[in-house]
Structure 1
Amino acid sequence: MSSLLFRLGSLAARRAWIVILGWVAAFGLALGAFAGFGGELKSSFDIPGTASGAVVDELADKLPDTAGGTGTVVYRTRDGEAFTAEQRSEISALAASAEHLDGVATVVDPFEVAKEQVDQIEELEDGQTRIADGRAQLDEAQEQAAEGRAELERAHQELTEAHRQAVDSGAPAEQVRALEEQEQMVEGQLVELDEQLSALEENRSDLEESAGEADLAETLLGLADGIVVVSEDESTAIVNVAFTDSRLDLSSEVKDATLGHFEGEPVSGTSVDFSAEISQGDPQLFGPAEMIGLGIAGVVLIIVLGSALAAALPLVTALVGVGIGVAASLSFSGMVDMAAVTPVLGVMLGLAVGIDYSLFIVNRHRKQLLAAMPVHESIGVAAGTAGTAVLFAGSTVIVALLALNVTGIQFLGLMGTVGAVCVAIAVLIALTLTPAVLGLIGDRLLGRGTRATVGERHHSEREAKPMGTLRAVLTASISVAVLLTIAVPALSMRLGLPDSSSDPQESTSFQAFDAVDEAFGPGANSPLLVAADVPDGLGDEEVLAVQVDIAETLGGLAGVEAVAPIAAADDNTLLAFQVKPEEGPDSESTAELVEDIRALPALDGDITLGVAGQAAINIDISEAIVDVLPLYLGVVIGLSLLIMIIVFRSLLVPIIATGGFVLSLFATFGLVVALFQFGWGAELIGIHSTGPILSFLPVLLVGILFGLAMDYQLFLASGMREAYAHGAPARTAVTKGLHAGRSVVIAAALIMVAVFGGFIFSEATMVRSIGFGLAFGVLLDAFVVRLLLMPALMHLLGKSVWWLPRWLDRILPDVDIEGSRLRSHPRADGTRSKIRR
């Protein structure tokens, strides 16, 4: 491999302009593809096949009006007083006219809803009054009828007795006939009175049926108490906007049109803010904080490479690589659903590894120039030695990123693929464009003063001595203890997706979230959508009773503030409910509520409940990611161990390297939890709200940090392997390799920390947590694990660290990472060169 890369680097240096123009053309093609085929990025996440996804699909089929994306427009009076009649009228007019916007399905006028709620209460109260009056009237009528019937029965008995006596005494026929006629008349009156009583009973039955319905309606109204859109002091109102497309397919044009509609006609004396579903845009790819990070990387490069020209080379080539990788990746955004954070990850990784990989080659070339090696020869040798390490280091990162596809989670796999593309381009640029530019620069890479000292010694070459065993034991023990201590908060990690409470305080999404929380309670920001599946359907007369039964069941669960039925399918086989939790979307109680609803047994034998809504979707995404983490970790570590066994021709080096990574990974998790979940030191970087950890952050950190950790392991251990392969005792080789590589590894790590750290101050919370995790993950792994723990463990293991079974040694390919085949290679003049190590 080293010979192949030697020839590639030499060719690039000799054909510099062809290589440079080739990369310029690639840049142009990538930009053209992006302009021609790029589409919109998605600000929401979803995973097909989840429980909440099944509910959304069912709602889309039977109740499409409830399945589209929704957003809220929040109005507040500036003086905190109740809305005036004029303000109400203007807001209502804006709500009504917004229904004509493209992509908008319905818009709910808050004041109309509030009026309807008041009317419902009044109507219910009037109905209860009418029922009470009706009962009183029925009671009076039945009492009068009963008294009249009793009198008629007495009269009938008297007539019957008189008739009997008249017949017994032989009274005249006229008298008997008169008594019979009177008796029949009374009997007729009794029949009429019985009919009246029967009618009164039917009226009472109807009245009681109405009373039952009224009681059910009153129960539902009571259960729904708390689900309102105008605050109690009437100073805050929510305009709910429902869109025709789902939240994943909601276009920026529709969102921008909605924003423009309500912002374009301000209501005097009020402020208007928008929920994240409407206002959230794509995260900024590169801002002032990222520029500062890049500036810090430039300073480190100048210190290490000794000149501004040499320092500029890794920066320029990294920017070219990022531009090509991100533009090429974004050109596919019109064909696949790509999360808005995906290109940001590509920028992070492309810049960090692009600078580092170019630095490794430039630094090797610079040292060889100082040792009086000819320019083109030195470029080829640097490409063959440092370039080989770059190739295999990049391979571990690419493997780790591409392995995200085995999770089966589309947006994660796409993020990994884009990151892998950017890293692959960084490797190619380091192996071709960097040598090409070095060929054009020539010996000007060295400063004028430095060129005068070529061939002289530039650092002491004192004999390397192995560290003491006691020092190695203490170093290893203290390193492990420190990492385990930092990792303790990770035991309390909660996963989720950030809500708008973590957005910048000046953002409209935070203002809307805060206003709703203050005026309506935290649960108003996290409504759950519950779907009741009724396989056999219901008669229209049964719906109300079943709705009450379901609402009472839901309302009896811990953590529920209010429940309201919102829709029923035409065939009554699906009923939809809105559930307002007591706490916000990121709270543990809301997560437990979702699980409690899903755990409910079937109601009435066959009615099953499902939960959707953003809080439920977040829970499903987090659970799905946790489930695939072991598989992903196994694939990444397995493939990377194989690469390292081939590179180092050792079993123990890859194993202890991986063990050290696990320690630094959990320590990184601990720092992330301490800052973003516990809030320790959050104010130092402007975080004003804490919550669960970004659900897919652990998976990303596993993949990316493992690849980057193996980068530094490769650059340090390859030097140790090189010294051991060339005859140095095992423990001495550890010290030699450490001394030879630590300065450039420290520089490379600081550059990565600077680049990743710049993203910590991004406006997007997701980007901030990713940047923080990567920056401190690299910091811990490079400085604690690679520079302290690994050398100490390798010293303690001694010669056995390089042990490899003979049968395995025979079948493994020899990649020659230490560049043994380049120690004597032909020069252009026919002589053979000795590479100075």
Structure 2
Amino acid sequence: MSTLLYRWGKSAFAHPFRFLGAWLVLLVVIVGSIAVNAPKLSSEVTINGVPAQEVLEQLEREMPAAAGGAGQIVYRAPEGTTFFDEASAAPLAQSMQGIYEDDNVVNPLDLAGSEQAQAAAQEQMAGQVRAAQQAIAAAQAGRELDQPVPLVVGGELVPGVTISPDGTVAMAQFQFAKQTIDLPAGAIEEVLDRAEAPLEGTDVEVLPGASLQELPEVAGAGEAVGIVVAAIVLFLVLGSVVAAGLPLATALLGVGVGVGGAYALGHFYDLGSMSVVLGLMLGLAVGIDYALFIVNRQRRLIMRERLSAHEATGRAVGTAGSAVFFAGTTVVIALAALTVIGISLLTTMAIIATATVAVAVLVALTALPALLGLVNERIVSAKAREKFEEREAAGVDHATARRWATFLSKHRFIASGAVILTTLVIAIPALDMRLGLPSSENYNSGTDQRESYETVSEAFGEGLNGPLLVVLSSRDDQPVDQEAAGAVLAELGQVKDVASASAAGMSEDGRTVLVSLIPREGPTDPSTETLVHALRDASTEFEATYAIDLGVTGQTAMGIDIAEKMSEVMPIYLGIVVLLSLIVLTIVFRSIIVPLKATAGFLLTILATLGATTAVFQWGWLNGLFGLDSTGPVMAMLPILVTGIAYGLAMDYQVFLVSSMRESWVHGHSGRESVIDGFAHSSRVVVAAAVIMTAVFAGFIFNGDPMIKQIGFALAVAIAIDAFLVRMTLVPALMAMFGDRAWRLPAWLDRLLPDLDIEGDQLLKRLGAKDS
């Protein structure tokens, strides 16, 4: 492998335009495809095989009109007025009429079912009109209402609109004919235009719900700051603007091809914004790091071995490039293992992330040496060569790293204990970790999503921000008995933590009845989760008493189910990763103790990361420092995603750091001496890579999407803990503790294991023999 990469690197250096031209042509094709027909991104999170999704699929079969996405618009009356006044209510009615005239919106009357059911619905609406008129008259007479009332204009009920008890806020809820991601381009904008047109000049404020609002930008100022920090670190490590620019250029190229390609193909699968951002995060982070390892090796070969830039590039790609290939392969395997869990959402995210990392590796091994060929000998200036020779002569190169490794070697027991204790203390909040999906409440203050959520909460209670959809269906081919359905509806309204329950529609054959159920608390409140379980537990009783099957769905129920599903599969995936870690590291380092220590350190990293994430996002500790002003559950997919990604990236640092120690040990140093010598030669670039990766991930903490915030934070914390506490402190201390025993391997196992030669030792031996 190393010999192939050596030849590949030299070829790319000698023929840069061939290699770069191929990448640029591919990038232009991808960009052109996106420009011509860009796919839609979705922020909705669904998962197959959970109860809420199964009920939704049942609705799609039996009552398609009710299985589409939900829309919500909040109207706020001008100061000093209320929607109890006919003058304010009339434009609101016209607004709703415009929405229902849209072909992509389902008229509530279409959900009434058969003609008999529609007649019953009309009679029910007449009763609601009379009750609403009485309540509005009481409010206009100065009495305070204790319940919301439906909107009535000209003696007619406006379906789907509810007015707050004080009359200052109206909330419209309606159903799309399809899920929002499946709507035609511009459909949501058309609905909003129809809603706003009759209200021009009225000073009524229109606040679209989360499903109707534009997704936050995939990347913004925070992400740009992360890249700037990465550029500064690259300059400090590589010592020149030209050298520092190469890893940035190749990382951007890799992201353009990897993430851009996934985006361009988004017409053929459900493409979530979170999948795209995850690919962007990983593509930038690993793209910069992998290129840094190769450029740093090439420059050192030029300065230390006095090789030409051409020869140094070949050797750098053959040696450091081999390690990059192995590290990237490890990340790819760890991410690809997510597909064996059998969850389509994770599979999509894993495929996009895997493809992006694979592209980053290929770019580092092909486009980077081609760029080095364009730069040629200018990659190391004459001043840099002189400075290196001066430091070598003075013996001060790696002095700081050598002192730190020596300190850890002398105080190995104290250092090991301190790191283990620190990570376990940080992990304590994870004992209280609660999984779920963030809601609009978790967006930053001042955003449309947060303002809409808070307006609804203040006017109607938090429960209306997370309604549940209860589906009643007959157990045979006969229509649902209406008396039985009414009894079930009455009982649902009396369930603990239910604010209200009302009929929402019926299928044409009468076999399916919809009930809109409003919890007392918000969608992420623990009581709402308890309510969903209580409803499902009660379904057995309803089946026995009324011969009616009961199912619960809706985005709130979906979030609860996803959290539970992720909790179930997390131990399985963690077991896969631990087993993978032990096997791979045993082959790489030909040792039993090294893989055990590395894997234990990785588990400490994951525990501490989940603890820190719980403390900040669920408990609210230091959340103001990260631009947060609300709390909520930890995103359901986060533990499993962080485990897979952090494992792959942690092994990068393990390989680059410990392989240097092994090389020193193989060349005759004692166990502790090899730790100090290997750490001194490899730690500088590992520290730089960790700082870059942490900065890139941390930039996403300030993204507008609360789920992306959590992923960015968790990955930044994971890399910082793993690199600086585990790899740069715990690993050297434990290696010094075990000494030569760390490298022992049973002879029978040594004969069975393949020689991966990830550092290109065999290549260097062949080149050395050739030179001699």
Normalised TM-score (structure 2): 0.89
The letter for the 1-side match of 2:437 is L
| 8 Å contact kept, 1:35–1:331 | no
In structure 2, relative to structure 1, the CA distance for the partners of 1:564 and 1:270 (3 Å cut) is: same
From 572, 582, 586, the counterpart of 2:520: 582
Match in the other structure for 1:693? 634
Q: 1 CA distance for matches of 2:408 and 2:707?
A: 45
Count of aligned pairs between the two proteins: 725
The residue aligned with 2:771 is: 832
**Equivalent in the alignment of 2:302:** 369
Which residue, 125, 129, 134 being the options, matches 1:119? Answer: 129
Q: CA deviation at 1:425?
A: 1.1
C-alpha distance after superposition, 1:640-675 (max 9, x if no partner): 432222221122212211110110111011111111
Matched, 1:744 2:685: yes
Structure-2 separation of matches of 1:832 and 1:63: 77
Determine the structure 1 residue equivalent to 2:90: 89
**Shift in CA distance, 264/319, structure 1 to aligned 2, threshold 3 Å:** farther
Task: Give the aligned partner of residue 734 of structure 2.
Answer: 793
| Paired residues for 1:434-473 under 5 Å | 434-453=368-387, 455-458=389-392, 459-460=395-396, 471-473=411-413
In 2, Cα distance between the equivalents of 1:55 and 1:756?
37
Contact 1:306–1:447 at 8 Å: present in 2 too?
A: no
Structure 1 letter corresponding to 2:313: I
Q: 1:539 to 1:438 in 2, by over 3 A?
A: closer
Alignment-mate amino acid for residue 330 of structure 2: T
Q: CA, structure 1 residues 41+113, in 2 after alignment: closer, same or farther (shift >3 Å)? A: farther
Whether the 8 Å CA contact 2:40–2:181 is kept in 1: the answer is no
Residue-by-residue CA offset, 1:440-462 (whole Å, 9 max, x unaligned): 21221123422445655445368
Q: Secondary structure, in 3 states, of the residue corresponding to 1:269?
A: coil
| Conserved 8 A contact 1:95-1:107 | no
The CA distance in 2 between the partners of 1:749 and 1:666, in whole Å, is 19
Distance in 1 (alpha carbons) for counterparts of 2:696 and 2:396:
32
8 Å Cα contact 2:427-2:609 kept in structure 1: yes
User: Is 2:653 the partner of 1:712?
Assistant: yes
Measured after TM superposition, the shift of residue 605 of structure 1 is 5.8
The one-letter amino acid paired with 2:744 is: W
CA separation of 1:698 and 1:122: change in aligned 2, threshold 3 A: closer
Q: TM-score, normalised by structure 1?
A: 0.82
Per-residue CA deviations over 1:490-514 (Å, capped at 9, x if unaligned) read 1111111111111232222222211
Quote how far apart the aligned CAs of 1:295 are.
0.5
- Give the match's secondary structure for 1:432: helix
Partner of 1:772: 713
**Residue aligning to 1:762:** 703
Aligned position for 2:233: 300
Cα gap change, 1:122 to 1:47, in 2 (>3 Å): closer
> Are 1:615 and 2:560 an aligned pair?
no
Equivalent residue letter for 2:759? E
Cα distance change of structure 1 residues 798 and 100 upon mapping to structure 2, 3 Å threshold: same
Residues 539 and 361 from structure 1, CA distance in 2 versus in 1: closer, same or farther, beyond 3 angstroms?
A: closer
1:63 aligns with 2:63: yes
Name the CA distance, whole Å, in 1 between partners of 2:124 and 2:710: 41
Aligned residue among 435, 452, 475 for 1:535: 475
Q: Identify which of 383, 387, 411 aligns with 2:317.
A: 383
8 A contact 1:338–1:411 mirrored in 2? no
Residue number among 284, 291, 306 corresponding to 1:358 in the alignment: 291
Trace 1:389-788 onto structure 2 (pairs within 5 A).
389-453=323-387, 455-458=389-392, 459-460=395-396, 471-536=411-476, 543=482, 545-600=483-538, 601-603=540-542, 604=545, 606-788=547-729
Q: 1:6 to 1:537 in 2, by over 3 A?
A: closer
Deviations, residues 730-751 of structure 1 (Å, cap 9, x unaligned): 2211111111111111100000
The aligned residue for residue 147 of structure 2 is none
Deviates more, 1:647-656 or 1:615-624: 647-656
| 8 A contact 2:419–2:725 mirrored in 1 | yes
In the alignment, structure 1 segments of 5+ residues that lack a partner are: 126-226
Q: Given the superposition, is the C-alpha separation of residues 117 and 780 from structure 1 closer, same or farther in structure 2, using an over 3 Å criterion?
A: farther
What is the rounded CA distance, in whole Å, between the counterparts of 2:195 and 2:212 in structure 1?
11
Q: SS of the counterpart of 2:205?
A: strand
**How has the CA–CA distance of structure 1 residues 354 and 536 changed in structure 2, closer, same or farther, with 3 Å as cutoff?**
closer
Matches of 1:618 and 1:584, distance apart in 2: 12
Residue 690 of structure 1: SS of its match in structure 2? coil
CA RMSD, aligned part only? 2.6
- Match of 2:455, SS state, is helix
**Aligned position for 1:258:** 191
After superposition, the C-alpha distances for 1:434-487 in whole angstroms (9 at most, x for unaligned) are: 122222212211234224456554453689985576610000000000000000
Name the amino acid aligned to 2:294: I
Quote the Cα distance in structure 2 between the aligned partners of 1:701 and 1:122.
Answer: 52
How far apart, CA to CA, are the structure 2 residues paired with 1:668 and 1:113? 57
Matches within 5 A, 1:175-194: none
1:815 aligns with 2:738: no
Deviations 1:142-184 (A, max 9, x none): xxxxxxxxxxxxxxxxxxxxxxxxxxxxxxxxxxxxxxxxxxx
Distance (Å, rounded) in 2 between the aligned partners of 1:119 and 1:794: 78
Deviation at 1:771, TM superposition (A): 0.6
Go from structure 1 to structure 2 and tell me whether the alpha carbon gap of 1:37 and 1:118 turns closer, same or farther (over 3 Å shift): closer
Structure 1 CA distance, aligned partners of 2:279 and 2:80? 45
2:75 and 2:592 map into 1 onto residues whose CA distance is: 65
Report the counterpart of residue 164 of structure 1 in structure 2.
Answer: none
Using a 3 Å threshold, how does the CA distance of structure 1 residues 115 and 598 change in structure 2: closer, same or farther? closer
* Partner residue in 2 for 1:43: 43
For the residue of structure 1 that corresponds to 2:219, the secondary structure is coil
Asked if the contact 2:473/2:548 (under 8 Å) is kept, the reply is: yes
> What code does the residue aligned with 1:72 have?
Q
Relative distance call for 1:763 and 1:539 in structure 2 (3 A) is closer
CA contact (8 A) 1:37 1:334 kept: no
Identity rate, percent: 39
* Aligned twin of 1:185: none
Change (3 A) 1:685 1:264: farther
Cα 1:113/1:706, change in 2 over 3 Å: farther
Q: Distance in 2 between the 1:106 and 1:481 partners? A: 61
CA gap of 1:280–1:693, structure 2 versus 1, over 3 A, is farther
- Going from structure 1 to structure 2, the CA distance change for 1:63 and 1:712 (only over 3 Å counts) comes to same
Matched position secondary structure for 2:182? coil
How many angstroms apart in 2 are the aligned matches of 1:327 and 1:313?
20
SS at match of 1:92: helix
Alpha-carbon deviation of 1:32? 3.8
- The answer (yes or no) to whether the contact 1:45–1:248 under 8 Å persists in 2 is no
Residue 424 of structure 1 and its aligned partner are, at CA, apart by 0.9
CA gap 1:117/1:785 in 2 versus in 1, 3 angstroms = farther
CA contact (8 A) 2:408 2:732 kept: no
Closer, same or farther: CA 735–117 of 1 in aligned 2, 3 Å: farther
CA contact (8 A) 2:235 2:244 kept: yes
Q: Distance in 2 between matches of 1:826 and 1:787?
A: 32
- Cα distance in 2 for partners of 1:537, 1:22 equals 62
How far did 1:15 drift?
1.8
Q: 2: distance between equivalents of 1:820 and 1:59?
A: 62
Shift of 1:304: 0.5
Q: Which runs of 5+ in 2 are unaligned?
A: 110-121, 136-159
1:10-38, Cα deviation, whole Å (9 max, x unpaired): 22212222222122122223334445665
Kindly state the Cα deviation for residue 377 of structure 1 after the two structures are TM-superposed: 1.6
- Measure how far apart 1:767 and its partner are: 1.1
Report the Cα distance in structure 2 between the residues aligned to 1:122 and 1:18, rounded to whole angstroms.
Answer: 75
Contact 1:114 1:230 in 2 (8 A): no
Distance change in 2, residues 1:82/1:117 (3 Å)? farther
The answer on whether the counterparts of 2:27 and 2:256 sit within 8 Å (CA) in structure 1 is: yes
Q: Deviations over 1:213-256 (max 9, x none)?
A: xxxxxxxxxxxxxx971111111111222110024534452212
Task: State the shift of 1:718 in Å.
Answer: 0.9
